[in-house]
Structure 1
Amino acid sequence: MKTTLRHAVFGVLFTLTLAAQAQLTQPNLPDHGFSFVYGVTNLQPEGFDWSAASSIQNVNFDFVPADSTAYADQFSQADFSQQTPGQTGGINEAFYEYNPDYFGFWGGVDGASGAQIVHPEVVEYLPYPMEVGDVHQDTLVFDFMVSGLAYVRDYSVDMEAVELGTLTLPGGQVFENTMRIQANVAVFDSSVASSGSILTEGSQYWAPDMPLPVAQTYTYTQIVDGDSSVIFSGAEFLVDAAAGFDLPLAASLEAFPSPAKHTLNVVAKAGSWVRVLNLQGQTVERRQLTSDREAWDVSTWPAGLHFLQVEGSRTTRRVLITH
């Protein structure tokens, strides 16, 4: 069952003006494989400022074209296999589809045991386009076999697009028009021998043209025979693209002093466009530098924390404005 509720937008002009920035749409992905490095933390940052997050472990997420894997026939409608090291050995694979209408999940393979769970139809994880205020639900109930034992799986997703902002990650990475989605995923398995479920709850941060959230928080809760326990609570965030995928490049940028009351010195390459954003991701100022160093009058800026970014790059600087 698939349900998507869209919020009402008043005014055709308002819709046309914001549509390009306020929608999450099918990402433009390369046909070949690519790889990302994500940092894992046992903390859960809030909001769009993750710049102070620290990783306790880095994990490679490799994306391989599905038709080049050993399971191409079983997952014939998937576009990519996401491959990650399994905690008990082997490489786990999750098969995803990206099309103009949805981001879909077709099942996966456990690397340690080789067990395959193939969905008879796609789980529509996210609809395209998705706008702030949209609520999406999908469920799939199906049978599968593991080690000769028959199971019934009830898989459900519940997504709500909460807000749009500019996400700042460690290392100066900045992702504009990032959508925060409140995600709840429930997987319930039952057999003649046992039954149990895993609930995953958290916030996902989706940036344009990225195949996965660039950051997300999650809490895993296991429920067995009515008793629940938290397995893990933490977060992960994009550290770098290891191969085959171009992230915005770094660029030189300095802004001082901080705090600043009346004048802010901005140092970057002449000709660069510098955008200033507030904590809500709203543009406060945008101008093109005419020299490598300029003194900006910030006396009219609202007090608070601001982010300066060279457009087309992943370099950002934070400054505090006080009056």
Structure 2
Amino acid sequence: KETSELENLLKEVSRRKHAITVNSCTDALYFSLRAAGIGVHDEVIVPALSFIATASPVVRAGAKPVFADVLPDGNIDLNEARKKITSRTKGIIPVHLYGRMSNPDEITRFVNDTGLIVIEDAAQALGSSCNGIPAGKTGFCSCFSFDPSKIIGAFGTGGAVLTDDDIVAEKIRSWRAQGKDTTTGTFSEPGYNSRLSTLQAALVLMQMKEMKHIIAERNRIASEYNRHLNGLPLNILQTPAGTDCWNYHKYPLFTPLRNELKKFLAEKEIETQIHYPYLLSGQPVFGSPQDVFPVAANISQQTLSLPVYPELSSGEIGYVCNSVQEFFKKQSI
């Protein structure tokens, strides 16, 4: 019951025909690639800056991830992606980094021009929308994550595939349940143990019903940060034109003094995170290609995420802001 109710709610928020819950977003991406027929000898373009799970399912599917640089906001640069297209390129996986959406209209135009299959990595963007299009709506398949680090999280892991294709949906429902045919009950091909448990589904469902409030609280915190940190010698991401909602999965700021600021805040007992301290292109599992990705590298060297969970009080937000201000004041002495 809870799983079906959750899937129905996910269909509603993403405006998709089908939602199939699975064990993780990593599995969701892999199943999407497999359903698209992507495999050995194929190439898939992915951003050079993202979590490892954006690219590892490409390898798991037997294909090769080809990396493209990103825009200053961390989302994939489609002009750079276009330069990576070869006769073997079959797909592209755009990521909505920090929950801040890549422009879906631009992605659609890119697909229409190139004919590539889009698998939308919306792991960080549940609840975000741009130009009236919600995260999870774009492409052949879209994938959500319910990792505990996300704005809606399970106790362990969880994910979902969104699609409008009836055949794809049936395939993924079978694969998540050991390859069991949902009509006959027989097993006609190898599958996986990738179902989202009822307990996890119930927890995610409970939070989904409060998602608007959760996002509103994260936006409240981000607004306070914007107001108090404006004017300091650091860069803050602005809300892009056309954005209906940014869920503020992360609140990143950018400074060449990132490591020093992180250490200073840690001494103040303020936990911060780096998203991400590495480029995907530099990981040995992908053969460490020697291409240069200057924008992605710059972000990786400068980004620092401040706390943005909804339970932060105004006093705690003020303490974080005062500490950041104190750090930069000391730098100018």
* TM superposition score normalised by structure 2: 0.26
More strand by share: 1
Q: Greater CA radius of gyration, 1 or 2?
A: 1
